């Protein structure tokens, strides 16, 4: 891989573990032949270790995080999660290549709705959004707990849905390659994906 990094917070990583990480991520190539960048973050909190893996290939990003009682176990669990995500991505990509219309006969999902339907509400609560760890928002407390900045890569809604799955998110913001507008794909509670497109007032 072109660039491999290990970052730590409240813990140290020895050379043996670093070599183990690089070797395991090299084997991920059977799912993703070209890994441009690989970043592993280790942290420790309250006696538990967390390992977060971020892989970048051709502008697509996959990320997984797991926790365990020791660093190696946390990392191995995160690698397993990454491989499952990439395996699903590979199968969906192959299915998409065989698809002749907007209907995915395997997953039963429709990316492009024929008519503009009222979108289902996006999640407004959750550990990352409200910061209290139990998914319940406080009536008197709506603090901004995290800010993420990222470049909006032009892509199709299908590519955005695949990227959302790779990240394990419930929704994904992207720039539509055809319209050049900022749009959102999201997972529907009833199954499949939804697409939110901007319209002029």
Residue % of the chain over a pLDDT of 70: 71
Band of pLDDT at residue 75, cut at 50, 70 and 90: very high
Q: What is the pTM of this model?
A: 0.58
Domain boundaries, the chain: 3-98, 107-196
Would you identify the CATH topology of the domain 107-196? SHC Adaptor Protein (3.30.505)
- CATH architecture, range 3-98: 2-Layer Sandwich (3.30)
DSSP per residue, 79-97: HHHHHHHHHHHHHHHHHHH
User: What is the pLDDT, as a whole number, of residue 107?
Assistant: 44
């Amino acid at each position: 891989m072109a660039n491999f990094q290990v970052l730590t917070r409240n813990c140290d990583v020895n050379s043996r573990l670093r070599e183990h990480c690089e070797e395991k991520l090299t084997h991920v190539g059977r799912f993703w032949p070209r890994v441009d960048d690989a970043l592993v973050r280790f942290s420790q909190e309250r006696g538990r270790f967390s390992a977060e893996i971020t892989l970048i290939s051709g502008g697509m990003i996959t990320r997984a995080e797991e926790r365990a009682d020791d660093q190696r176990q946390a990392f191995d669990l995160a690698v397993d999660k990454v491989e499952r995500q990439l395996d699903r991505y590979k199968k969906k990509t192959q299915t998409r290549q065989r698809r002749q219309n907007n209907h995915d006969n395997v997953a039963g999902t429709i990316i492009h709705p024929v008519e503009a339907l009222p979108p289902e509400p996006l999640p407004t609560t959750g550990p990352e959004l409200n910061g209290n760890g139990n998914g319940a928002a406080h009536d008197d407390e709506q603090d901004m707990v995290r800010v993420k900045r990222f470049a909006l890569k032009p892509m199709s809604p299908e590519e955005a849905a695949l990227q959302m799955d790779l990240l394990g998110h419930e929704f994904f913001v992207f720039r539509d390659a055809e319209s050049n507008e900022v749009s959102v794909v999201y997972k529907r509670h009833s199954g499949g994906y939804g697409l939110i497109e901007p319209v002029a007032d």
